[in-house]
């Protein structure tokens, strides 16, 4: 009988330890998670004080099952100047002085002009990023966490 009692006491002593380890592991797992909101906050924080930047970009999108690629270079200078030169589609340009934006599409010989006072187009700026994040919902592309 004492063997059964010892096994019961041992189980009673080990059970709380196992529960405690599960709780601690659960909390540490919770705090290691990176959410989409965490990434949005980090992007806003990073770009809040940016005075200028230049970057090469590639955009890949699907429109009605058709894959579309765009690439080029973007330049920004605070507080409002933005220029985007596209390599694909070749020669297309977007230029802004913060008040107006001009979109040049040489393949159809068109220049479009947009008043930015009524637009959320200026996404290359800090205020434009805030507007972009407030208008759209974001999710991770896959199950993997960002690095």
Could you read off the pLDDT tens digit of each residue along the chain, which spans 147 residues? 555 545 555 555 565 656 656 556 655 555 567 777 888 788 778 777 888 889 898 888 888 889 889 999 999 888 888 899 999 999 999 999 888 889 999 999 999 998 877 554 445 555 666 666 666 666 666 666 555
Please report the pLDDT score of residue 117 as a whole number. 73
Tell me which of 2.50.20.10, 3.40.190.10, 3.30.420.40, 1.10.1750.10 is the CATH number of domain 37-61+68-135. 2.50.20.10
Hey, where are the domains in the chain?
1-33, 37-61+68-135
The per-residue pLDDT for 3 is 54
Which run of H or of E encompasses 53? strand 52-63
- For 15, counting Cβ atoms within 10 Å of its Cβ (0-12 exposed, 13-18 middle, 19+ buried), the class is exposed
Q: Are 126 and 134 a contacting pair, CB within 8 Å?
A: no
Looking at residue 127, its pLDDT comes to 60
Per-residue confidence (pLDDT) for residue 38, from 0 to 100:
82
Task: Record the pTM.
Answer: 0.55
């Amino acid at each position: 009988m004492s063997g059964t009692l010892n096994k019961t006491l041992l189980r009673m002593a080990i059970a709380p330890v196992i529960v405690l380890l599960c709780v601690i592991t659960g909390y540490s797992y919770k705090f290691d998670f990176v959410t989409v909101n965490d990434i949005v906050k980090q992007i806003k924080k990073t770009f809040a004080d940016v005075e200028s930047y230049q970057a090469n970009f590639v955009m890949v999108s699907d429109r009605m099952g058709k894959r579309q690629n765009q690439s080029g270079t973007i330049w920004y200078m605070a507080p409002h100047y933005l220029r985007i030169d596209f390599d694909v589609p070749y020669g297309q340009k977007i230029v802004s002085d913060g008040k107006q934006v001009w979109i040049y599409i040489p393949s159809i010989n068109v220049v479009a002009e947009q008043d930015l006072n009524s637009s959320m187009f200026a996404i290359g700026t800090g205020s434009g990023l805030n507007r972009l994040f407030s208008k759209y919902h974001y999710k991770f592309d896959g199950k993997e966490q960002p690095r």
